[in-house]
Amino acid sequence: KAGVTQTPRYLIKTRGQQVTLSCSPISGHRSVSWYQQTPGQGLQFLFEYFSETQRNKGNFPGRFSGRQFSNSRSEMNVSTLELGDSALYLCASSPGGLMDEQFFGPGTRLTVL
Amino acid sequence: GEDVEQSLFLSVREGDSSVINCTYTDSSSTYLYWYKQEPGAGLQLLTYIFSNMDMKQDQRLTVLLNKKDKHLSLRIADTQTGDSAIYFCAEEGSQGNLIFGKGTKLSVKP
């Protein structure tokens, strides 16, 4: 079974631009969660999508948004990029139950110049 | 609030045991987790413990849970150079997410 895949793996953008990251979950998984990892703040929860609906949300500004498609693939968008948005963005998929193990992808490394 | 704390660095010699410690705040967490992150990779679930257990052993890994003190530890026996990585402790958040510590970087010297 293929694991969680994230594209692109690396991305360089400039301040003010917007970016879209993609996550393909493990086949059959219906939940996709997104996390931001920075050296200063560590791993922080962005949001979770289940069956095309945002089920949970962390404490990030509205510039961070996401969506999920009918095949469970998810995209995350960040608008008006700031230097502080430079981070490793990880997505995790699970079957969808609250206690289900989350499987993480390798992440997308975003650098904002 | 929800918070997980762990020391940032640990250095051991190959063959020794490593003990990584973590304290958490949310006593309602049903499970507590240990994840491993190798350079350039995502997070890999190493092991987890149910909150009603005191100890769980899985091959070279031993997890100890002191629920009264909200203290969790991960012991790696016979540590190998391949165990060098960042180890994250995590509890369940109120939003169905995971709350992670900042990670402990384990360096194993030959």
**Residues A75-97: pLDDT tens digits?**
999 999 999 999 999 999 999 87
Of A56, A57, A104, which has the smallest distance from its Cβ to B43's Cβ?
A104
Question: CB of B39 within 8 Å of any CB in chain A?
Answer: no
Question: CB of B1 within 8 Å of any CB in chain A?
Answer: no
Q: Residue range B42-52: average pLDDT?
A: 92
Structure tokens at A57: 């949300």
Of B95, B98, B99, which has the smallest distance from its Cβ to A102's Cβ?
B98
Instruction: Say if the Cβ atoms of A106 and B40 lie within 8 Å.
Output: yes
pLDDT at B54: 94
Which of these, B102, B103, B35, B24, lies nearest to B66 by C-alpha position?
B24
